[in-house]
Amino acid sequence: MSEKSPFVVSPDWLQERLGSPGLSIVDGSWYFPGRDARAEYEASHIPGAVFFDHDLVVDTDSDLPHALPDPLTFERHASSMGISKDDTIVIYDGPGLMAAPRAWWLFRVMGAKKVFVLDGGFERWRSEGRPVTGERTKIAPSAFVSEFDASRVVPFEEMRRIVEREEAQIADARSAGRFVGTEPEPRLGLRGGHMPGAVSVPAASLSENGELLPLDRLREKLEAAGIDLERPVVTSCGSGVTAAVITLALESLGHKNNRLYDGSWSEWGRHQDTPVVTGDK
């Protein structure tokens, strides 16, 4: 059997540990308008799970979607969810690998060490007849004390320099159509295309049936896309959410020299003076 990522856990693993002290389960689902992640959580979730709101745990002073919150803001939200930095944190989303890796990345950037993603997500969990509930989760008092690692985040001006000087590889998690500019961006006011030098690594290509691909297939996918795993990588997407799927894949393969461009295309694509490439070349 092919080796799996050390950062994912199976439904069997989680079900055996439901109710264990020090285990925090987080529903990290997020969807474009038209599907309400919070309403779905309130209707049905894994017993003991709390909801992570990607639209709420943000930098409220920024006009960018999903902008990285400052450490104190993150501490406040994580503590209100009853989560400690020392907990074993298991994060899931509906389809399996869409928004859960973003929450996985955020908790790790803020200092948590034992953070995992549930393979297959809630849809697999429910389809297998595992326990679900609509009851409100009782949250015990907790204090999340962050240790923010700013080195894992790329701000806008540095991204300009990286593109200009070709200082790192850029892996774009958006769909192939959005990458080349033939598919419209879901957010208004953004140009189509990609950053010069970027390669297309659609987030969906790194999973199958909601599960992260085994390590050998992850390596094949990334290398086929043009990623040299011996060199630094910056991950990007539409608003910093699915970029974390590539980050999860890279970290699973032992690649440590990677960073996430938090503003992603929502920031790059709205500026009129940033270079944009359309088409396959």
Residue 279: its pLDDT value, please?
85
Q: pTM of the predicted model, to two decimals? A: 0.96
Residue 281: its pLDDT value, please?
59
CA 130 vs CA 11, 45, 88: distances in Å: 8, 11, 20
Dihedral angle sign, alpha carbons of residues 119, 120, 123, 129 = negative
What is the pairing mode between strands 211-212 and 207-208?
A: antiparallel
> Per this entry, what is the length of the chain?
281
Residue 188: its pLDDT value, please?
85
Per-residue pLDDT of the chain (281 residues; tens, 9 = 90+): 579 999 999 999 999 999 999 999 999 999 988 999 999 999 999 999 999 999 999 999 999 999 999 999 999 999 999 999 999 999 999 999 999 999 999 999 999 999 999 999 999 999 999 999 999 999 988 999 999 999 999 999 999 999 999 999 999 999 999 999 999 999 988 999 999 999 999 999 999 999 999 999 999 999 999 999 999 999 999 999 999 999 999 999 999 999 999 999 999 999 999 999 998 75
The set of long-range contacts for 13-21, using a CB threshold of 8 Å and a minimum separation of 24, is: 14/46, 14/90, 14/118, 15/130, 15/131, 18/46, 18/47, 18/48, 18/131, 19/47, 19/48
Residue 189: its pLDDT value, please?
86
Q: Among this protein's residues, is 152 annotated catalytic?
A: no
Contacts of 139 (CB under 8 A, 6+ apart): 50, 80, 81, 82
Give the domains, in start order, of the chain with CATH numbers: 8-148 (3.40.250.10), 151-268 (3.40.250.10)
Catalytic site residue from 213, 237, 248, 249: 237
DSSP annotation of 204 reads G
Instruction: Provide the 3-class DSSP secondary structure of residue 78.
Output: helix
Name the residue type at position 1: M
Residue 183: its pLDDT value, please?
94
DSSP labels for 208-246? ETTEEPPHHHHHHHHHHTT--TTS-EEEE-SSSSTHHHH
